[in-house]
Amino acid sequence: MTVTIRAYLPADRMAVVGLVHQLNLFEDEISGDRAQDIKAAEACLDSDLARVERDGGGVLVAVDGAEVVGMLCFALDQPQPYLRAEIARVGWVTELVIDERRRGQGIGTQLLEASETLARGLNVNRMMIGAIVGNHIARKAYERFGFRPAVLELSKDLSG
């Protein structure tokens, strides 16, 4: 396996949409609230690309030969006035997905390492990443990479 990490290209679109769709289906099994159609995956990628265009960051893909086997979106937040100046500029890993056939092979770590390099190049001193409650595999992987719990978000559905 020779996986390389590079910037997303428009030619990667269908493969990346497929990965995001896989992620939505996987997370829906845990949370029960994810859209399961391809159009939702396309909208998610479009939202990520627009955020990166607007705020900075990058979309990275992991490629094995000609096959896209993973993707990561890294987007910048505006400096947060409540944080100390040296960590006020925060970068978020908003999406990280590895093809289900390729999980557990270190590809996610390679993408996270590349996003950390990108963050340092953008003078970002704090990275954030989220995992839905119940996705213990992702949380453990992120903690192995050095992420620590920082914020607890709570939700309340008002539809019922």
Q: Tens-of-pLDDT digits for all 160 residues of the chain?
A: 699 999 999 999 999 999 999 999 999 999 989 999 999 999 999 999 999 999 999 999 999 999 999 999 999 998 888 888 888 889 999 999 999 999 999 999 999 999 999 999 999 999 999 999 999 989 999 999 999 988 888 888 898 7
Alpha-helix runs per DSSP H in the chain: 13-31, 38-55, 107-121, 136-144
Residues in CB range of 151: below 8 A, 6 or more apart = 128
> Nearest to residue 108, comparing CAs of 9, 33, 23, 29?
23
> What is the phi/psi pair of residue 149, to 5°?
-55, 135
**Domain spans of the chain, in order of start:** 3-144
- Residues 84 and 90: their CA atoms lie apart, in Å, by 11
Return the CATH class of domain 3-144. alpha beta
- Determine contact, residues 40/93, Cβ cutoff 8 Å: no
